[in-house]
Structure 1
Amino acid sequence: MARAAVLHAVGDEELDLRDDVSTVDPGPDQVKIKIRATGVCHSDLSTMTGVLPAMPPTVLGHEGAGVVAEVGEHVTNVRPGDHVVVNWSPDCGTCAECVRGEPYLCMTFIAQAFSDPRFRFGDGTPAFGMAGSGTWADEMVVPYQGAIKIDDDVPFEYAALLGCGIPTGVGAAINTARVEPGSKVAVVGAGGVGLSVIQGARIAGASTILAIDPNEAKHPIAKQFGATHTATLEQLEETKGLLTGGAGFDYTFEVVGKAAAITTAWNATRRGGDVIVVGAGAADDTFEMNAFALLFDGKNIKASLYGGCDLARDVPRFVDLWRAGRLDIDGLISRRIRFEELNDAVRALRDGDVIRQVVLFD
């Protein structure tokens, strides 16, 4: 039996931290991973509140890394003992999205996750994994495409963040927006993913990077990661005038997951510029734009799901950037905690007191 943090009902504020949970045996195309580190991401909180769908009882967590424990007979990409990053949105390779070269849009395995429970309680009750994952557990089973091999010298707490926060943020700047050198960028929301967007824009060579967040305590942190300027919402118009002559930014990223934040991003963007939606919003939170402005402002609004990443391709790239000193992973980690502190971690996340918390498993 193993430990796991379980959500029994959407809306619960406390997780059930159990020690009687086991995984199913891996099938011929599956991999069992012993989790060594997992991040506490805002999407986990969104699953608890119902913004993101779940099938309770659900083992939460989707951002993790660990060691391969077992592999199915058809698995050839990894073997027991390999260090891996968990890909919470594995690509099947055969659906229309995968064939088009858009693996981040593949829904094959995520759809299966709502009918295929991969955990069981001690009394035999089946349990699902968040988005088909469930990294807030000692071990988990994923399709082989969900295990991305990584070099053994990459610390597990760093590798965990390569499973969601970093690819979502850095990828949004590099893959989705394709930020050009010398361009002017604004980022609405300076949380963990927002800071990764800032890093991506810096890596891409943006000359001006404005971090926009109502919490001024986050402003100096944003500058540590590459923001050249900061502003609150009240300061945005004045700052836009100073930095762009009032024209607006070439690229503006929304990293909050709110319709109001998308509107803020739209208004901060120049005519012909790009608005990149990174945050995961609620299904009933509607963004509105009048048809005249949509056409005549010439702005582009783009979704950036999982940073437009192919993790098999991009994880090694991110590791190389980290080795070169161009990607700061350690600075994103506010604190390292134990499994028993997960409910405290959720409260800290809800209060907005942290960038990224990482759970370290023995």
Structure 2
Amino acid sequence: MKAAIFEEVGKPLVISDITLGDMGPHEVRVRTAAVGLCHSDLHYIDGTVAQPMPVVLGHEVAGVVEAVGAHVTRMKPGDHVVGCLSVFCGTCEHCIGGNLVNCSNQSVRYLPGQAQRITREGVHVNQGFNLGAFAEEMLVHENALVKVRDDMPLDRAALIGCGVLTGTGSVIRTAKVPPGSTVAVIGCGGVGLSAVMGARLAGALRIIAIDILDSKLELAREFGATDVINGRDGDSVQKVIEMTRGGVNYAFECIGAKRTAEQAFEMLATGGTVTLMGVMPPEMMIEFSGRDLFYRQKKILGCFMGSNQFPTDIPRLCDFYMDGRLPLDQMISKRIRLDQINEGFEDLKAGNVARSVVTFDI
């Protein structure tokens, strides 16, 4: 079967034939239906984050179950499923405490380079994110998947597995935004647009979207933003403070850059909370005012994958979409084939798309 393999930093992915290993008792084989191109993949491709190579990346994925291991009971062949990179064991201290994204069991959530499920001409190929979704099929642990309703379109379901789950979760689960709040979202890619949707679902009174591309700001309005600011048109922090008469209650940084993280903190009102969810280089240091932390009681939260509990969150988000309250149709800018994946990443780097989705004939 075909897969797109990342072999060298800064170089195009290579379309090659791969072979999946034998299925373990808690594993599931999935026929890939759709996989989104996410900035997290791009961070590995451009070398921002290290990853053993060669590797099959891809993690924002939905598909159809082909076969299940002997001990798998929660899904069966033919079920529609969404994958999530925050695979969990369900028994460690974090999982029992409800923090599935912090699962520490490395026998389930393999560290990069440890999963031994993929080969190419007999040679080991790494499995990115414990999923390896840039392929026609995947072999994954059952706790990396959740069954979804059969009438949920799988290309839109794929988006929920990462970008939508992260953005909405950052608002609802991480920051716990209450109704009537004022919110600012910096960066209107897939995750930022999802944070806008999350703020709308949470009942935020005012949602200010900030980006440097007018096309993305137009999308943000469609997704629920009440106000937009182009970051190239002056001081965004000052504009937010003026618009809200003192700053927002909640700010969300969706880019992973030092300056935008600091801006998100600066635009907070007294007692406000900033949530940082953009992927940042390991060496990046961010500066905040100690005076603001102490006297103005501003708060800083880190957010990984929307602090999700994806076995329940993803089916609920599918229900929101089917009920017309999650406008995912507008998020898909392009549907492409696997052999067009490199062009898709060029579009992502240029900021031309909210999401491109690789779709497969199934």
- Provide TM-score, normalisation by structure 1: 0.95
Shift of 1:203: 0.9
The answer to whether the 8 Å contact 2:237/2:266 transfers is no
Paired with 2:296 and 2:261, the residues of 1 have a C-alpha distance of 16
Paired with 2:140 and 2:207, the residues of 1 have a C-alpha distance of 38
Q: Tell me what 2:95 maps to.
A: 98
Equivalent residues in 2 for 1:143-222, closer than 5 Å: 143-222=141-220
Paired with 1:241 and 1:294, the residues of 2 have a C-alpha distance of 18
Q: Tell me what 1:266 maps to.
A: 265
Post-superposition Cα deviations, 1:135-165, rounded to whole Å, max 9, x if no partner, equal 1000111111112101111111011111101
Paired with 2:128 and 2:67, the residues of 1 have a C-alpha distance of 21
Given the alignment of the two structures, is residue 239 of structure 1 paired with residue 215 of structure 2, yes or no?
Answer: no
Given the alignment of the two structures, is residue 36 of structure 1 paired with residue 33 of structure 2, yes or no?
Answer: yes
1:210 aligned counterpart, secondary structure: strand
1:110 aligned counterpart, secondary structure: coil
Shift of 1:39: 0.4
Shift of 1:104: 1.2
Q: Tell me what 1:114 maps to.
A: 113
Q: Tell me what 2:254 maps to.
A: 255
The answer to whether the 8 Å contact 1:54/1:131 transfers is no
1:315 aligned counterpart, secondary structure: helix
Shift of 1:113: 4.5
Q: Tell me what 2:55 maps to.
A: 58
Q: Tell me what 1:313 maps to.
A: 312
Equivalent residues in 2 for 1:10-21, closer than 5 Å: 11-18=9-16, 20-21=17-18
Question: What code does the residue aligned with 2:207 have?
Answer: I
Question: What code does the residue aligned with 1:50 have?
Answer: G
1:331 aligned counterpart, secondary structure: helix
Gaps of 5+ in 1: none
The answer to whether the 8 Å contact 1:78/1:147 transfers is no
Paired with 1:102 and 1:16, the residues of 2 have a C-alpha distance of 36
Shift of 1:217: 2.7
Write out the 4+ residue segments of structure 1 that deviate beyond 6 Å after TM superposition: none
Shift of 1:235: 4.3
Question: What code does the residue aligned with 2:6 have?
Answer: L
Paired with 1:237 and 1:253, the residues of 2 have a C-alpha distance of 13
Shift of 1:112: 4.0
Given the alignment of the two structures, is residue 355 of structure 1 paired with residue 348 of structure 2, yes or no?
Answer: no
Question: What code does the residue aligned with 2:54 have?
Answer: P
1:111 aligned counterpart, secondary structure: coil
Shift of 1:185: 0.3
Shift of 1:243: 2.1
Paired with 2:289 and 2:148, the residues of 1 have a C-alpha distance of 46
Paired with 1:142 and 1:310, the residues of 2 have a C-alpha distance of 18
Q: Tell me what 1:76 maps to.
A: 73
Paired with 2:168 and 2:247, the residues of 1 have a C-alpha distance of 22
Query: What is the root-mean-square deviation of aligned Cα atoms in Å?
Result: 1.3
- Provide TM-score, normalisation by structure 2: 0.95
Residue in structure 1 matching 2:21, options 24, 31, 51: 24
Paired with 2:289 and 2:160, the residues of 1 have a C-alpha distance of 38
Deviates more, 1:187-196 or 1:289-298: 289-298
Deviates more, 1:209-218 or 1:153-162: 209-218
Paired with 1:261 and 1:93, the residues of 2 have a C-alpha distance of 36
Paired with 2:359 and 2:89, the residues of 1 have a C-alpha distance of 30
Mark the CA change 1:237 to 1:57 in structure 2 (over 3 Å): closer, same or farther.
closer
1:120 aligned counterpart, secondary structure: strand
Shift of 1:324: 1.7
Shift of 1:290: 4.0
Post-superposition Cα deviations, 1:55-74, rounded to whole Å, max 9, x if no partner, equal 21100101101111111111
Percent of paired sites with the same residue: 38
